[in-house]
Structure formats: C-alpha cells, structure tokens
Structure 1
Amino acid sequence: MTKWAVGIIIAVLTLVGLVYYLHKENSYDFDESMKEYEIVQKWNLPNPLDEISGMVWMGNDRIACIQDEDGIIFIFDLNTSEIVAEYKFGGPGDYEGLTLLNDELWVAESNGKLFRVRDLNDPEKTQEFQTGFEYKNNIEGIAATEEGNILILPKDRNLNSTGDGLHDAIYLYDPVEDKLNKEPYLTINYDDEAFKVLPVTEPEDLIRPSDLKIHPNSGDIYVLGAQIPKLLILDNEGKIKKIYLLKPREFYQPEGICFSPSGRIFISNEAKGTDASILEVKLN
C-alpha cells in the first residue's frame, strides 16, 4: 500500500472519528411521544455566526448575537435572514452570554469577565468588570432582571466548590455596585423529581447549562441545556416547574435563548456538521 493510500485512509478515519465525537454526547433514542413543542420557524445563519453562543431581542424583528471567538456583536434580521450590522466591543475571547439592561448590552466571557457595551458605535466606551468567577467556573449565560441586576450561570463549577456538588447555582451580580453575591441566588437540585424524565443519572449529565433568560410575562427562569438537549423552566426559588426534552436532530448544539417582549421563544444552535441556526419554538 502506498503512503498516499495510507494517508487517505488515516484522513477518512480521522473525519469519521471527529463526526462521532461531535455527535455522541447528544445521541440517544429520543422518544417522539415526549416532544412537547413545535418549531414555528427556522433561520439558517451565515458563517460568521457558526459559533453563536448568546443572543438577545433588540426589537423590530432583530436579534443581537455573539459568538465565542471574536468580540463582535452581530445584529441578525429575522425578516431578511441576514446580518445587518456588526459592532466590535473587544478582542478575541470566549464570549458566552448576552443580555440587555437599561438599553445597554452586557456580554459575559467564560472566565468571569463582564463587558458593558455603552455605545455600539464606540468600543472605547465599553467597560470591563471582573466578577470574581474564573475559568474553572466557565460562565455560560447571563440574564438581566427587572430590578436591574444580572443573573450569572456557571457551567462547570459553583463558587466555593471543588466540583458540581449536589446542585447547580445561579448567582446575582449588582452592576451599580459592581458586586457579586457569592451566595447562590437560587439552586437547581440534582435530586429534583423532574430529572427522572432524563435518560441519564450522572449529575454532570443532568444540566450542563448553556444559557438562561427570564420570561417577560411569567417571570420564570428558562435554563437551556446543551448536553441531552433540554429546556428547564424554574420558578423564582429554583424549583423545576417543567423540563422540555429537545430532539437532538433539531437542537444539535443549543447554546443561546432569548424572548421577544410578547414571549416568543428563540433558541440558537452552533454549527455542528451543519449550519448554525435560530429556531422559534412554541411550547405545548
């Protein structure tokens, strides 16, 4: 066998292994009878948003999006299915969360930094805050509250914890005082009966959150999970009111969620062997 042929075989095996790795964590026998939602509409995203990681409603059928590599806010128009504007706010980084507070965009980096984008047209006015989280916590989502605070959701480790412990925690950050409350604002307990619907039992597989937002009408907290794709609806004490399992073929890498003021739900997928996308979802 020639070196050329061996090279082709190695390349093919590598590609097969990569595809398997990308899909194995979300591959399980999804029970169609447990599908309690419908997809209203889907938008395939252009290449700059392949790594879409967070989004927030901006009005006029436009959604602000970030991706986890570049410090750029993209404005995506649902009517034209196009990026209509780009605004640089920072350098390269691992940006994961996006929210809107008092008409200003806030961006979270996985290492715990928050960026207050005071003027989209002037990156020099962007302020940077270090909340007290670190890389080991791996911040995945943020959400503004009606009271003017910001909820922060770590993916890997809670504060003052060497591991996931027995719960996932959501924390409260006061942007006026630039102060993080290191005691959890609420906790999602792994022994909650609602988790029995999941086809796993290991704590690290139960949640693995990727984003969160607050419903504009009910005030419930919606937590998106990328591993075993799911949507958790929590009350203001962290009690799970409902878990919606999401079909892996439709939500192959769910990374962002946002609402319109009327309560329309949008969930984004990173590209994972196919186009990145935004899906409007109606829960049954």
Structure 2
Amino acid sequence: MKRANLYVGLFVAVLLAVGIIGFSRVNKANAKIADGMDNYTIAETWELPVELNEISGMVWVGNNTLACIQDEDGKLFIYDLTDKAISEEIPFAGKGDYEGIALYKDDMYVMQSDGLLFEIKNWNTTNKIVSTHKTGFQDANNMESLAYSALDSSLLTIPKDRDSKDDFKGIYTIPLSSKKADTNTPAYKIEMNAKALKIYRDKKLYKTFNPSEIAVHPITNDIYVVEGQHPKLLILDANGTLKTVYKLDEINFPQPEGMTFSEEGDLYISNEAVNGTASIHLVELKVTKS
C-alpha cells in the first residue's frame, strides 16, 4: 500500500512538473509575441475585405483614401477609410507579384518583386497610360518596397533579401527621368552590424533585416522602413542615419507589408491576413531610444 501511494505521489509530482514547465513555456511564448506593445499606440484599426487579404502595399491619395495593391492581381484597390470599404478597383496589368506602390502627382508607380516597375500615368482618369521599366534589380533582390521622396526627387526602394554585399541593405533612388537605379551606389545604407540591430543579428548577416516597405515622412523627411518577417520598424533621419528601431508586437502586426503617411504625417501600417483578417492600423509611436 505504501509503495502504491509512493507511485501515485511520484506520478502526481511528474504531472505537476510537466504542467509548470508547459505553463512557463506558454507564458514565455505569449510574452514574445506581445513584445513591443509599449512602443506605440494603435489609434484606430480597419479590418479589410477578403480582396485585400494579401495586401502588400498602400499609398495615401488624399481625402481619407488609400490606393492599395495585393500580391497577385494587377489592380489598384481604392480604399475609403471613412466608409471602411473598397470604393473602386482599377486594373493596370495581369497576374504578377506586386509589392510596392508610390504616388507622384498624377502618376502611380508599382514595383514587382523582380524589380520591374509599372508606371501608370494619369492613374485616376480614363486616359491612363501604363508602361513598364526595368530598374536594374533582379529576383534575388526580392523588391517589396517603394516610396516617393521629395527630398531626393526620386522613388526610393530597398532589397528585401540580397544586396550587392551582405553587410548592408541599401536604399536606392530611382529617378523618374530614367526609371532606372544605380544598383551599385545606394543613396543611404542600413548597416547590418549597426548597434541598434545587435539583438536582431542573424548568423546570415543579410537576414538581420528584411525590409517589406519604405515610406518618407512628409514633414521631417525621415525615412521609415518596416519588416514583416520579424516585425520591426526602423527610422532613419533625412541624411540616412539610423535613429531608432521599434519592435512591433506579433499580435497586432502579424505580417506588416504596407506603410504610408497622410499629408499631416499620420502613420498607417497594413498587415496581410495571417490566421485572421488583413488590417490597417493608424499608429502613434512613442519616443524611444535605439
């Protein structure tokens, strides 16, 4: 009887130990995916329709409206933040892998992952003209970002995967006159060995930071670069100096792929649907140190 009681006691002790270890691991996992929440406030959220489950880019077009693209279809999806709905779909090409979008005056630009740039002149009229341009980037670069920079008078883009060297990710200008980048001479560099990226450093250095979108603050000209794979937001000043890194929590930012600013400097970040619904957040950042 005593031996039986001993076995029962040991069995209960093992179950308790397993439960405690499991509970500890769950707590650690939950803490990890929530890490970063103290960096910002989400002021408002828009849950997107299924057509934008794969939202990969967006740009502010005025009047509380965004032009969005998604990975597969060559369409501009005009999304009204006030009505919380797609107001219009504007085809510009067939199937593809569309990742970045930018606006300059009346012309829209869309970047494909292989570096092919679509130019949609007079995008919001019936006489729009669509043309394509080889920018000099390749499949291996995996281009997912595009923004217009008034300071540079050019489009900006940055490789998600491989650059010419693994120790940096270059931000490159694409002049609107040529639509072609000098892929050997970045305008700005994000050094993978930067102190602010130390805690994110990967054994394969180029995987330390894999940008999914770029945007330029309309007032400060600071350059914002977001990563979707391991959600984080980098901010560089107008000279390209890395100012700070924000960790983004994986609950609200399961896969941030799009980013844009309103004219007033309000920051919007979009997420693809990951085990849920695609979304757009209006984000208010808190002051942090790198």
Structure 1 length-normalised TM? 0.84
**C-alpha displacement of 1:181:** 1.8
Q: Which residue of 1 aligns with 2:111?
A: 108
Whether the 8 Å CA contact 1:205–1:227 is kept in 2: the answer is: no
Q: 1:254 to 1:27 in 2, by over 3 A?
A: farther
- The one-letter code sitting in structure 2 at the alignment partner of 1:234 is L
Q: 1:111 to 1:32 in 2, by over 3 A?
A: closer
**C-alpha displacement of 1:125:** 1.1
Q: 1:169 to 1:61 in 2, by over 3 A?
A: same
Whether the 8 Å CA contact 1:145–1:151 is kept in 2: the answer is: yes
Q: Which residue of 2 aligns with 1:149?
A: 154
Give distance in 2, aligned partners of 1:214 and 1:179: 20
Secondary structure, aligned partner of 2:226:
strand
Q: Which residue of 2 aligns with 1:166?
A: 167
Q: 1:58 to 1:86 in 2, by over 3 A?
A: same
Q: Which residue of 2 aligns with 1:76?
A: 79
**C-alpha displacement of 1:241:** 0.3
Give distance in 2, aligned partners of 1:199 and 1:150: 28
Q: 1:204 to 1:248 in 2, by over 3 A?
A: farther
The 5 A counterparts of 1:230-249 are: 230-249=232-251
Q: Which runs of 5+ in 2 are unaligned?
A: 1-28
**C-alpha displacement of 1:235:** 1.9
Whether the 8 Å CA contact 1:89–1:123 is kept in 2: the answer is: no
Q: For this pair of structures, how many residues does the alignment match? A: 255
Q: Which residue of 1 aligns with 2:20?
A: none
**C-alpha displacement of 1:205:** 3.9
**C-alpha displacement of 1:42:** 0.5
Q: Which residue of 1 aligns with 2:40?
A: 37
**C-alpha displacement of 1:111:** 0.8
Give distance in 1, aligned partners of 2:200 and 2:31: 11
Q: Which residue of 2 aligns with 1:176?
A: 177
Whether the 8 Å CA contact 1:35–1:247 is kept in 2: the answer is: no
Q: Which residue of 2 aligns with 1:251?
A: 253
Deviations 1:73-97 (A, max 9, x none): 0010111110001100011000000
Give distance in 1, aligned partners of 2:143 and 2:126: 26
Q: Which residue of 1 aligns with 2:142?
A: 138
Give distance in 1, aligned partners of 2:127 and 2:274: 31
Deviations 1:191-217 (A, max 9, x none): 111113548665344211100010011
Question: Which deviates further from its counterpart, 250-259 or 203-212?
Answer: 203-212
Q: How much is the aligned-residue C-alpha RMSD, in angstroms?
A: 2.1
**C-alpha displacement of 1:225:** 0.7
- The one-letter code sitting in structure 2 at the alignment partner of 1:87 is I
**C-alpha displacement of 1:102:** 2.2
Give distance in 1, aligned partners of 2:35 and 2:180: 45
**C-alpha displacement of 1:36:** 1.2
**C-alpha displacement of 1:238:** 3.0
Give distance in 2, aligned partners of 1:153 and 1:220: 15
Deviations 1:138-167 (A, max 9, x none): 111011111431111111111xx3xx5111
If you compute each CA radius of gyration, which structure gives the higher value, 1 or 2? 2
Q: Which runs of 5+ in 1 are unaligned?
A: 1-25
Whether the 8 Å CA contact 1:205–1:228 is kept in 2: the answer is: no
Deviations 1:50-103 (A, max 9, x none): 000000001111011000101000010111110001100011000000011122
Whether the 8 Å CA contact 1:264–1:280 is kept in 2: the answer is: yes
Give distance in 2, aligned partners of 1:32 and 1:165: 28
- The one-letter code sitting in structure 1 at the alignment partner of 2:79 is F
